[in-house]
């Protein structure tokens, strides 16, 4: 339809809270990214740092990919019984697999 105003014509019929939620939704959609593909050298370095952190119970800065976003956390990594890794932080616990890790550094 020519001259159609798209979402603008519907916005006036929505409550401000709904408009705000839609704007937040679209901002989150923009932040979504594809999982980075790591080189063999990067994977080896991640494994080396993880082994050192696990052996000496060191804190790490971890970047992991989940829900189409990259998350940054700091804490200690432990192996859990189900083959996943567990990270204990000041504000909680997260679980992830080795495939989720994008980068890890010793703190």
Task: Give the residue from 54, 98, 104, 97 showing the smallest Cα distance to 77.
Answer: 54
Q: What is the pTM of this model?
A: 0.66
Tell me the C-alpha distance between 19 and 91, whole Å: 31
Q: How confident is the model at residue 52 (pLDDT cuts 50, 70, 90)?
A: very high
Please give the Cα distance from 63 to 71 (Å, whole number).
Answer: 5
pLDDT score at 86 = 86
């Amino acid at each position: 339809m020519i001259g159609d105003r798209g979402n603008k014509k519907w916005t006036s019929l929505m409550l401000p809270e709904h408009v705000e939620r839609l704007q937040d939704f679209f901002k989150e959609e923009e932040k979504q990214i594809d999982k980075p593909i790591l080189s063999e050298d990067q994977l080896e370095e991640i494994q080396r740092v993880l082994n050192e952190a696990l052996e000496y119970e060191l804190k790490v800065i971890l970047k992991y990919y989940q829900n189409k976003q990259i998350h940054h956390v700091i804490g200690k990594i432990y192996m859990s019984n189900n083959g996943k890794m567990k990270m204990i932080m000041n504000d909680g616990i997260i679980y992830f697999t080795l495939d989720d890790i994008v980068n890890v550094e010793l703190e």
